[in-house]
Amino acid sequence: MQRLRYGATRDVLETVLLALIVFLLAREVVQNFQVEGSSMSPTLHDSDFVLVNKFAYKQVDMGPFDFLLPGRSNGEFLFGGPSRGDVVVFHSPADPTRDFVKRVIGEPGDRIQISNGEVRINGQQLDESQYILSDPAYRYPQPGMPAVVPPEHYFVLGDNRNASQDSHVFGPIHQRLFVGEVIFRWLPLDAIGGGGSRDLIAIDGSVIHDPDETDVIEVRRPSPDREEVDVPTLMLGAVLAGTTT
């Protein structure tokens, strides 16, 4: 009888331990966040709950053994890295304890120019009629010439262009700041669905292309002493780890 009780206790402990291991592993891959603010409207709204794939932009450095890993064509990302149009979560460049959600607009080497309510990538004007709240009422960069996204950096904007603290304020973000890609919105139930990622399309209907290798434009790096501006922003609070402020 004692052996049976011991066996049952061990089974319970093994089940609990296995469940704990599965939970911790799952949390390393997918994490739950709550949206705060309106800077990604109309794609995501205040108080929406979303799932973020933290493994999507996983970076692994195996030194001389990198050739053993698949998908190493985009820097140090294991599975290709962020792409134009991805809706992503990243740590604030000024305060790593705060998390932002924005859309990737430019990849390393892309030429970015914003003026007259238009966003241009590598000379192509974006058709943003399907996912932004209003045209941007600002210029980027201020001198008016296209800015080139530096290596290992990405240019991100909120879909609510005029109420978003993003790369037009603090410049392109370094790839090490990425948390992951928003893959699913599960609350509210009447808006359940995808995370909002999409291909970026030019006004002529073509997918935005990579920059012409023959173009020679000075790379503009974000100023290290430039501070964030306190404007309405869309932040994310990790529900399982506590909500950020």
- pLDDT given for residue 63 in this prediction: 64
CATH architecture of the domain with range 30-238: Ribbon (2.10)
Of residues 160 and 222, the one with the higher pLDDT is 160
pLDDT, mean over the chain = 78
Q: Are 34 and 48 in contact (CB under 8 A)?
A: yes
- pLDDT given for residue 220 in this prediction: 38
Put residue 168 in one of left, alpha, beta given phi > 0 → left and psi -120 to 50 → alpha: alpha
- Give the pLDDT confidence of 30-62 residue by residue, as tens digits: 888 999 999 999 999 999 999 999 988 887 666
- pLDDT given for residue 187 in this prediction: 92
The residues assigned a catalytic role are 39, 102
- pLDDT given for residue 204 in this prediction: 87
- pLDDT given for residue 142 in this prediction: 80
Q: Supply the pTM of this predicted model.
A: 0.76
- Give the pLDDT confidence of 92-136 residue by residue, as tens digits: 999 989 999 999 999 999 999 999 999 999 999 999 999 999 999
> Would you list the domain boundaries of the chain?
30-238
- pLDDT given for residue 230 in this prediction: 30
CB neighbour class for 82 (10 Å; exposed up to 12, middle 13-18, buried from 19): buried
Distant-in-sequence, close-in-space partners of 5: CB < 8 Å, separation ≥ 6 = none
- 26, pLDDT greater than 70: no
Phi, psi (5° rounding) for residue 67?
-65, -15
High-pLDDT (> 70) share of the chain, %: 68
- 221, pLDDT greater than 50: no
